[in-house]
Amino acid sequence: MTHCLLCGESLLTASTLALGPLAVCNRFEKNASTNVPIHSLSISECKACRLVQLSEYPPLEYVQPRLPWIRYNEPTAHLDAAIKHLEPFFFAAPPHKIMGVGPFDKPLLDRLAQREFNQMHLDLSAELPQEPARYPYLESIQAVLRPYTLFKLAATQGVAQFVSCRYLLEHSHDPVASLRGLRHLMTDDGLLLIEVPDSSRFLLMMDYSFIWEEHICYFTEDTFRECALRAGYEIVQFTRYPGALEDALIFVLRTTKHSPAPKAIKHTWGNSNTFIRYRAGFENVRQQYRNALKSISARGKKVAIFGAGHQSIMFVNALGLAHHISYAIDDAPEKIGYLIPGTSIPIVPSEHLTRDPSIDVCLLGVGHHIEESVRNKCAGYLKRGGQMYTIFPGAGSATFIDGKV
């Protein structure tokens, strides 16, 4: 991409971190000789609107899952609180119909099941590509969120007074068009709930595992506000729900009758150097990890990584650590027997860690909320002196390179 996805400014002179050619994080194979397609990945910050976004990413066809079990989790712990915050809208003008757009809207709609609303989930199936051995997911759903397609779907499936679209806009290759399209699903006085993850913390904490070829836009509160304004909405309510690694941002939007002239907004997150620091810090973090892991193999010991999700995979591939990691541990039965995409690192169940005395360090690529259960599961490993370090510098516990940078 040579132009900003939000404001259209050229990205040719933008601050850019190029990660080079990488494997797609969902391309699990069982055989290391199978060619996994690689693609260039770069992340940039637009100088004009400051949206952090991928400026080089793989085509949609590369990212479409080849395995039926590729599914992602999004946070739900804050949803009861979120519904309380939304009460004024439900009481002031009871929505007769609530519509969920994507796979992450069901948990929100389920919490409203006791109420007098008609619920519906938009049926996108006819719009998704039907190819053998492809299992279209978020990368394909985001491409359906465009004005013409949503206009067409609204004509047959109807509109709603309250439309919910959680965790899809950050996947969009054209977020302003996606938002403009969603208005076709709303009644004239309808409301649109958008939830996106806040990217500010991982940028501030120099966490490179959060870059992902499927997340095109790395919104903050400010850049999403700008996106909503440009798409012709006003923000009726905004709430931030703190998370361990990234906050959830919930915006309730209403269409404006006139398109406001885009104007520069005042940015409140970080400072103008945040992304420049992030970009500049990459080489240092990569070198620190390489040196630290090399020193373990020099002692005749080994390193494992716990969790075979996209963050662990990006961590290993972007930092170039594959040669230093003996195996990845994941207890999801469908992942056992596969390799970390782009590497020959096998994925094995957690009992390996307890049985294998050669592992000295286990890096944790799992969410902060399950760190404790991982430590309990691997009590035998810890008891014999095995060390565990999170890969997430914002998680609150130590990383392997803390104090070494």
Query: Residues in the site for Zn ion, rule: CB under 5 A?
Result: 4, 6-7, 9, 46, 48-49
Phi, psi of 180 (to 5 degrees): -65, -40
Q: Please, what is the angle between helix 175-182 and helix 221-230, to 10°?
A: 60
Nearer to Zn ion, 9 or 331 (CB): 9
Least distance (Å) between residue 7 CB and Zn ion: 3
Nearer to Zn ion, 28 or 278 (CB): 278
Which alpha helices (DSSP H) does 2-119 contain, by range? 60-63, 79-92, 106-110
Least distance (Å) between residue 45 CB and Zn ion: 9
Strand ranges of the sheet holding 186-197, from the earlier edge strand across to the other edge:
118-121, 97-100, 160-166, 186-197, 248-255, 233-241
Least distance (Å) between residue 57 CB and Zn ion: 16
Nearer to Zn ion, 127 or 226 (CB): 226
Least distance (Å) between residue 9 CB and Zn ion: 5
The answer to whether 167 and 104 are in contact (CB under 8 A) is: yes
CA distance 156 to 79: 30
Nearer to Zn ion, 48 or 177 (CB): 48
Nearer to Zn ion, 7 or 345 (CB): 7
CA distance 235 to 254: 7
Nearer to Zn ion, 5 or 98 (CB): 5
| Helix (H), strand (E) at residue 153 | helix 147-157
Q: Where are the strands (E) in 242-380, listed by range?
A: 248-255, 302-306, 327-329, 347-348, 359-364
Partnered with residue 249 across adjacent β-strands are 196, 240
Least distance (Å) between residue 49 CB and Zn ion: 3
Least distance (Å) between residue 273 CB and Zn ion: 18
